[in-house]
Amino acid sequence: MTVMGILNATPDSFWAGSRFDAEAAVVRGLALAGEGAGILDIGGESTRPGSSYVETEEELRRVLPVVEGLMSAQCPVPLSVDTRKLEVMARAHKAGATWLNDVSALVDDPRLGPFAAEAGLTVVLMHRQGHPEAMQTSPRYADVVTDVIDFLSRRVDAALGWGIRKESLVLDPGFGFGKTLEHTLELFRALPRIRALGFPVLVGLSRKSFLGTLTGAPVEDRLAASVAAGLAAVDAGADIVRVHDVAATVQAWKVWEALRSRP
Ligand code: HH2
């Protein structure tokens, strides 16, 4: 299991505990790497349900100092940028970021595909239905699992067509992005089928609203729920878990692995 630590340089991410200004984000990022994060994912645009578009200049103003600060502090793990914009990824890559986490799977800014190929980026292709403004209003699917698998397969084809290497792709079913609780549970059970597409699978479950639906806990009180969800996801075949709480996730994983492994 690889843990991707979330670093939001935003004023409005859905969990207040993950929001940092640039200076604090650098400190936080180094701490997350020390806690066992294998990758850091830096975001300058919240994509929570109801969020709105952030202008390129503003997103750059939020993200770039964090990438630059982490690089000059010799951050020991790769840096990913959670963006849908070429300008942001290009500047972040120049500063040292090597992963693109695009929640639109290279749809919103089609210039990102050729750029990622040229730059040799690792690319996370995520499924979402609708746009953040209204995606959780009433998501509908003929069959959520087939729809997600078909979409991800089409985006893999597009990515390969742009020249992105197969080894550089990671797939994500996009929990919370246009999914009801029923959709989430169905997709979760289908993680082995998504894994069978032949790419590493990333999941983002940390503190998301379905955990509140299942437990009644508000976002600030969903640590145990998030850790449980992360372990269950890895057990179901996920390779990378994108989390706010790295230390707790790594600690739980160490015990889980030790207790489950056979001599
Ligand atoms: N979830 C969020 C943001 N980016 N990227 C991927 N690949 N998968 C996810 O599930 C995912 C994601 C939402 O979490 P967070 O970044 O904490 O919130 P916000 O978008 O409000 O900043």
The Cα 159–Cα 15 span in angstroms is 31
Ligand 1 pocket by C-beta < 6 Å: which residues? 6, 8, 10, 13-15, 18, 43, 46-48, 82, 101, 103, 124, 126, 172, 174-176, 202, 204, 242
Ligand 1 atom 8 nearest Cα: 204
Upper half-sphere CA count for residue 151 (Cβ side, 13 Å): 21
pLDDT of residue 152: 98
pLDDT tens-digit series, residues 198-252? 999 999 999 999 999 999 999 999 999 999 999 999 999 999 999 999 999 999 9
pTM listed for this prediction: 0.96
pLDDT, tens digit (0-9, with 9 covering 90-100), for 3-49:
999 999 999 999 998 899 999 999 999 999 999 999 999 999 998 88
Tokens 């997709």 identify what position?
Answer: 187
For residue 92, the CA-to-ligand 1 centroid distance in Å is: 18
Residue ID of nearest Cα to ligand 1 atom 3: 47
Three-state secondary-structure class, residue 262: coil
C-alpha of residue 204 to centroid of ligand 1, in Å: 7
DSSP state string for 170-224: EEE--TTSS--HHHHHHHHHTHHHHHTTSS-BEEE-TT-HHHHHHH---GGG-HH
Per-residue CA distances from 163 to 42, 82, 121, 196 (Å): 25, 21, 11, 22
